Structure formats: C-alpha cells, structure tokens
C-alpha cells in the first residue's frame, strides 16, 4: 500500500501563489465596481436620478460587504493573521447576511423613493461582475 506524501511548497512558490490569489481578489473587486458604475449610469440614462440612486444602493448592498470580506481575505494572505476554513465560511455567512439585512432595511425605509427594478439591476450587475473578467479573459 502506497502512502501519500504531503505537498511541500518552497517559500518562492508560496509567494507566487499568494500574489496570484491577491491579484485575483483585487481584479474581482474592480470588475464588480465597474459593473456597479455601469448599472448606475444605465439606470440614470433610462429612468433618471432616483433610479440611479436605487441602482447604487442595490450595488452597494453586495459590494460593500464583499469588499470587507475581500479585505479580510487579503489580510489572511499577506498579513500576520492566517485564514482557516471556519473563518472563511463565517465571513461568507456574514457577507451574505449583511447584504440581505441592507436590502431588508432599504425595503423598510425606502418605500417612497426606491425604484425596485433599478435596485435589482444594480445588485445583479455586482453579483455578476465576474462576467466582465470572463469577457476580458482575466479570471484568476
């Protein structure tokens, strides 16, 4: 019976992997921000100022928690605090929970001014920001 030996990486290989992971996280955030800007501009051109604000709120509902989660991941890659699977899944749950909480808060407080199609368009554009990376073949 053959025993498996653990994978041992050199310091250089770890540095290369960490750099690539960090640049992938940053590229994803930039793509999501670009898609949010597109959603806001398109909403403004199609339906006016309140639609643009609604699209911005929808985009921010997911982008801000995602950016904070990405910051935590980057600190885990390049900082002294290392990530583990539990902190990753906890961060993912907090990210999704806070996005839902923001949307519930907007539904509760913004009944009079929210343009729901624009808000959902902004949210969808940020959620699908990786499509921009696919289009330019820049996936990490």
Q: Write the pLDDT tens digit of every residue in 78-112.
A: 777 777 889 889 989 999 999 999 999 999 998 89
The model's pTM is 0.83
Total structural domains within the chain: 1
Instruction: Specify if 60 maps to a domain.
Output: yes
Angstrom distance (rounded) from CA 98 to CA 113 = 22
Q: Write the pLDDT tens digit of every residue in 56-77.
A: 999 999 999 999 999 888 888 7
Percent of the chain with pLDDT over 70: 97
Residue pair 58/122 in contact (Cβ under 8 Å)? The answer is yes
Instruction: Specify if 3 maps to a domain.
Output: no
Instruction: Specify if 2 maps to a domain.
Output: no
Instruction: Specify if 1 maps to a domain.
Output: no
Angstrom distance (rounded) from CA 106 to CA 64 = 15
Domain containing 60 equals 12-135
Q: Which residue has the higher pLDDT, 98 or 135?
A: 98
Instruction: Specify if 68 maps to a domain.
Output: yes
Instruction: Specify if 4 maps to a domain.
Output: no
Instruction: Specify if 24 maps to a domain.
Output: yes
Instruction: Specify if 110 maps to a domain.
Output: yes
């Amino acid at each position: 019976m053959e025993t498996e030996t653990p994978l041992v990486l050199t310091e250089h290989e770890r540095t290369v992997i960490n750099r690539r992971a960090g640049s992938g996280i940053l590229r994803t955030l930039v793509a999501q921000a670009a898609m949010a800007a597109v959603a806001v501009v398109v909403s403004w051109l199609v339906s006016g100022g309140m639609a643009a604000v609604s699209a911005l709120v929808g985009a921010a509902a997911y982008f801000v928690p995602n950016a904070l989660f990405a910051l935590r991941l980057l600190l885990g890659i390049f900082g002294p605090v290392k990530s583990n699977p539990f902190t990753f899944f906890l961060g993912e749950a907090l990210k999704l929970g806070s996005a839902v909480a923001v949307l519930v808060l907007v539904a509760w407080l913004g009944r009079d001014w929210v343009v729901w199609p624009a808000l959902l368009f902004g949210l969808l554009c940020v959620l699908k920001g990786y499509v921009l990376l696919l289009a330019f073949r820049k996936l990490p």
